[in-house]
Structure 1
């Protein structure tokens, strides 16, 4: 997967305009990952309609929302309109967001992949949200690779070991371009707040050496500094390079600064160099 990666919420933003998308392409961004993407894939299709060379990937579609046959149909529609420019990312989401349907998530993922197989969705056309070793191995065995969210370069190294050398690995990385520690921590804690109550993430952080104390009071400074790359352009580039050296094929940047496009204008030259 070539070029820089960018992570954006499916709720839309000022970046979903032809002029902004053209600028992102000119800056070297090759893939736009859509967080919490609705399974109808209309927003992905709109981004593709408004751009020229970007690949759009879902990061992710919740497998509890629609059966594989329905999602496969939406994927086919998008690819018929934009051949070679769409990558389907799926994941099991969280019990707090799914409710009582959320049982045996690993088995759900396996059966969902079986359903996508039956619908003719090839393994190399899909990626899996994966944090723990079992789902990472599943991503390597039955998908193009994995898209971990809210992780560290240390996790990227563990993910690469679990996947092996071939599969795609694209971790998400939150970024605040500022040297003001207070500003960086404020924006970081705002972004982390909802995730502190989701066991999929806290359990993964515990595996990485954090403790329950790190999740209290909006998250410890140590947790914020680990999950959010902040500082000047060199500091952000350093974190991205750590992921790359640990085995990432691409890093999907989620910019937390209010003016994301202006921030990306400053970051892109440093990251491409």
Structure 2
């Protein structure tokens, strides 16, 4: 007779032929309005053995509001790799675990990728419990083409790296979605305008589903002006939806501007504009001085 084995996470005794593996439930939580927590999400959180949370203090407040008392396990970018093996072992031993982030859908600019990948590699079932996502919520109200889009998350914090990233995105034809923080929103709008052209249509969604929710539309240049003129528009959490480069003419212009900005640091402006126009197919006069 084969003796029972103890699982490596110390969760009790089990027999490998008798114990059915648990499930990792990836649960979306509200991004602001607590009424957006779905009944299924609430039932799932009540029924699991433990909840993996990005910030246990934040999640404890959410659970307390709904009267949920479950063990919380910290899972964030600094410990996810080390924790994933132990958490997978618990699920292989039969535990049901939930994964939540501070707000919205886990893994969308939040930790969780390593745990999900490790669970799937081990044969553990991973089940989504969908709900709020700030990027999709903003796209749904932006009035900008939503059939094809690119989610870029947060732009680099340092100006040079941010402008470099934007220079590679300027010719993207699909709608672009960015997250941004309050203390960088003005700089990011300015850099977006310089890289994409200030006339590019965009929508800035702030504090979605919360008390002071605002959704501003216009061009990158006009959004920058609105944010600069109103201190309230520099507070909270932001999602920026930017129209793609569009037709070939727009794409050539964007690429020409990107090349001009690169070349202008090493060549006279007129020479830089001439070379950028030749390489991109854009009109030289539309590039001269765009840096």
Q: Shorter chain as normaliser: what TM range?
A: under 0.3
If asked which structure has higher relative contact order (CA below 8 Å, sep 6+), I would say 1
